Amino acid sequence: MAVETGAQLIARTLRDLGVTVIFGIVGIPVVEIAEEAINLGIRFVAFRNEQACSYAASVYGYMTGRPGVCLVVGGPGVLHTMAGIGNSSVNYFPLLVLAGSAETSAITKGAFQEMDAISLLTPHTKLAVRASSLDFLPGAVKNAYRTCWYGRPGPTFVDLPADIIQGKLSPEFPLPLPENILVAPPPRAGGDPALILKAVALLKAARAPLLIIGKGAAYARAETGIRKLVDQTQIPFLPTPMGKGVVPDSHPLNVSSARSAALKNADVVLVLGARLNWILHFGEVPKWSPQAKIIQVDIAAEEIGRNAGNSELGILGDLTLVVDQLTTSLSNWRYSPSGQFPALLAESAKKNEARAQRAALLPTPRGAPLTYQRAYHIIKSTLNSLTPCEDGGIVYVSEGANTMDISRSIFPLFHPRQRLDAGTYATMGVGMGYIVAAHEAFNATTTHPGSRNKPKKKIVALEGDSAFGFSAMEIETLARYRIPALIYVVNNSGIYHGDSTSESAWKALQDQTASNDTKADGKDTAKGLRSTSLLYETRYEMLATMCGGRGYFVRNEQELEAATREGFLSDTVTVVNMIVEPGIGKEIGFAWQNKGQEGQAKL
């Protein structure tokens, strides 16, 4: 295809970089870029909201190991895309954002959707640059692509003025050769040999060693080396929520069921691709032992020694190479459990697993709402009867407080990068975009818009009703691209907790709110709906049926099992609206932090 315009030049540059899919929303002037990209064989997945498409592009980078690309309009489009840029930055996902903007000659005049996006995004990206001329375009896009990928991954941004997009190339314009555009995978560096030896000495002397496996290990494709390290050394391991599957959850050395006991009692902890942030309680007491020696392995120097980490013990380098170095240096050593550590782990795991098993196997009383644990048990059992979980045929997406927290311990993983959740930012609203990205990452070679081929992997999403509402209109996107996701809306009619177990009681609360009723004892405390209230038993499943998909309204175990079976086998998007216990009277808190009742609200 002849390259005659800026839009064609941008599309060609993306193709030569190896981009195969773009997530975005078009409008003037970026629609021309999207159309030219499609003409070159690049898939363009069009969303309904820039937040969702930017979430999709960011996590696509995590799943594929190459940058995700997001194309949006300027002004408000960039503002909405800030959500995905923040999500990318905090989670270390490689993301390239391209956005249109006002003509260069109209800046400061109040042009259409005019905004100084460079000033806005510079503090939040690794690179933000404005393309000032046609000959600057290929280099700007290439450098932004490379920068978001190399070193610590994160977001980059290229601002594309309308006159540059629509500009005409002269016949003498020097088009770069494709081989000069292609960016090789990031260079990798091993760890300092002296620090490797120091870490090995600490592990060998440890009474209670522990490996922590984070999503950075999954991003690094380090699963083969880490599995070898675990099997060879017999050190217990603890995966973070998105680190699950790097080593199969079924492995006997997995201490997820004894998480608190493992962190509290470990004396030497090797942290592989995880950060000592809130998810790991900053590595600090009382969740961790004050005597614990923490060895961080990370690609980002600024993470070494952060919070309770020790900069003298941390190893800077590519995780795959560092793990291989450690495995080689530990080739003649195996952890021999002694003392109280193994017994503490076994006792804690036994107690926690028994409690979870009781909750999962307790039948739902007639007329009572499903519990989270019982509902998940039915879903898991039904899915396992359709496809063995060991085969890795399902990718799980999960968001929402209770929905996400409880599900992470119930659905086992045997392969990496097959569980996507709210992540480090605890971002609500990522679910629908993540479904699209997972479909593109795993199924793009077998399915495409308009096809009916069976995908390699089924995407199963567990969505809190509040979280689902952030991007629910993307159901139309799933239907349009024939993405046969199975989506459960775990509906308790509230944020964290609902208000009532019956419609009449909920309406009474609503009436009290409307009348501004107060307590009879004279205290100025309003009754009625709370700040966490959502409409009682909203019929979310109708979003699927209105788009030609399938919808199920589920109240009991039999309906849930049937909806799961039919939804899994469906070749179109399916929404199962699952009514669960509202949780009246329970404390509001993030279960992952497990801080207890102090400072928490009670509804």
Q: What is the mean pLDDT of residues 428-433?
A: 97
Q: Based on the fold, state whether residues 466 and 406 are members of the same structural domain.
A: yes
The region of weakest confidence among 101-110, 410-419, 532-541, 567-576 is 101-110
The more confident residue out of 596 and 212 is 212
CATH number at residue 22: 3.40.50.970
Q: Based on the fold, state whether residues 336 and 400 are members of the same structural domain.
A: no
DSSP 440-472: HHHHTTT--TT--PPPSSEEEEEEEHHHHHTSG
Q: Per residue in 337-371, pLDDT tens?
A: 878 999 999 999 999 999 999 999 999 999 899 99
Q: Which pLDDT score, from 0 to 100, does residue 593 have?
A: 57
In a domain, 435, yes or no: yes
- H helical segments located in 207-277: 215-219, 223-233, 259-265
For residue 9, what pLDDT band results from cuts at 50, 70 and 90? very high
Q: What is the mean pLDDT of residues 381-401?
A: 94
Q: Based on the fold, state whether residues 202 and 335 are members of the same structural domain.
A: yes
Q: Based on the fold, state whether residues 146 and 246 are members of the same structural domain.
A: no
In a domain, 372, yes or no: yes
195 near 315, Cβ under 8 Å? yes
The more confident residue out of 1 and 114 is 114
Q: Based on the fold, state whether residues 265 and 382 are members of the same structural domain.
A: no
pLDDT score of 599 more than 60: no
144, amino acid identity: A
CA 203 – CA 293 distance, rounded (Å): 10
Tokens 């941390």, residue located: 314
Tokens of 450: 């308009």
Helices 50-64 and 76-91, packing angle to 10 deg: 30
In a domain, 313, yes or no: yes
Q: Which pLDDT score, from 0 to 100, does residue 596 have?
A: 43
Q: Which pLDDT score, from 0 to 100, does residue 499 have?
A: 79
- Distance of alpha carbon 483 from the chain centroid: 18
CA 435 – CA 575 distance, rounded (Å): 13
Q: Which pLDDT score, from 0 to 100, does residue 482 have?
A: 96
DSSP 268-327: EEEEES--SSGGGGGG-TTTS-TT-EEEEEES-GGGTT-TT--TTT-EES-HHHHHHHHH
Could you give the 3-state DSSP secondary structure of residue 213? strand
In a domain, 201, yes or no: yes
Q: Based on the fold, state whether residues 146 and 284 are members of the same structural domain.
A: no
Q: Based on the fold, state whether residues 106 and 198 are members of the same structural domain.
A: no
CA 211 – CA 237 distance, rounded (Å): 4
pTM: 0.93
DSSP 559-591: HHHHHHHHHHH-SS-EEEEEEB---TTPEES-T
Q: For the chain, how many helices (H) and strands (E)? A: 22, 19
For residue 600, what pLDDT band results from cuts at 50, 70 and 90? very low
- H helical segments located in 65-222: 76-91, 117-121, 137-149, 162-165, 178-181, 193-205, 215-219
Mark which of 292, 315, 347 sits at the end of a domain: 347
Q: Based on the fold, state whether residues 204 and 337 are members of the same structural domain.
A: yes
In a domain, 527, yes or no: no
Q: Based on the fold, state whether residues 52 and 115 are members of the same structural domain.
A: yes
Mark which of 303, 318, 347 sits at the end of a domain: 347
The domain of 371 spans 362-498+534-579
Mean pLDDT of the chain: 92
Q: Which pLDDT score, from 0 to 100, does residue 1 have?
A: 61
Q: Based on the fold, state whether residues 320 and 249 are members of the same structural domain.
A: yes
Q: What is the mean pLDDT of residues 319-335?
A: 97
Q: Which pLDDT score, from 0 to 100, does residue 588 have?
A: 67
Q: Which residues pair with 498 in a beta bridge?
A: none
In a domain, 185, yes or no: no
What is the number of structural domains in the chain?
Answer: 3
213 near 240, Cβ under 8 Å? yes
Q: Based on the fold, state whether residues 382 and 483 are members of the same structural domain.
A: yes
Q: Which pLDDT score, from 0 to 100, does residue 453 have?
A: 62
Q: Which pLDDT score, from 0 to 100, does residue 523 have?
A: 41
CA 353 – CA 544 distance, rounded (Å): 36
DSSP type of residue 74: S
CATH number at residue 343: 3.40.50.1220
Q: Which pLDDT score, from 0 to 100, does residue 590 have?
A: 58
Q: Which residues pair with 554 in a beta bridge?
A: 578
Q: Per residue in 448-500, pLDDT tens?
A: 544 556 678 999 999 999 999 999 999 999 999 999 999 999 999 999 888 77
Q: What is the mean pLDDT of residues 207-218?
A: 97
Share of the chain above pLDDT 90, in %: 83
pLDDT score of 603 more than 80: no
Q: What is the mean pLDDT of residues 304-325?
A: 96
* HSE-up of residue 329 (Cα within 13 Å, Cβ side): 20
Q: Based on the fold, state whether residues 371 and 405 are members of the same structural domain.
A: yes
The more confident residue out of 484 and 104 is 484
In a domain, 506, yes or no: no
For residue 277, what pLDDT band results from cuts at 50, 70 and 90? very high
In a domain, 543, yes or no: yes
Q: Which pLDDT score, from 0 to 100, does residue 343 have?
A: 93
Q: Which pLDDT score, from 0 to 100, does residue 525 have?
A: 43
For residue 104, what pLDDT band results from cuts at 50, 70 and 90? confident
The region of weakest confidence among 59-68, 393-402, 513-522 is 513-522
* HSE-up of residue 579 (Cα within 13 Å, Cβ side): 20
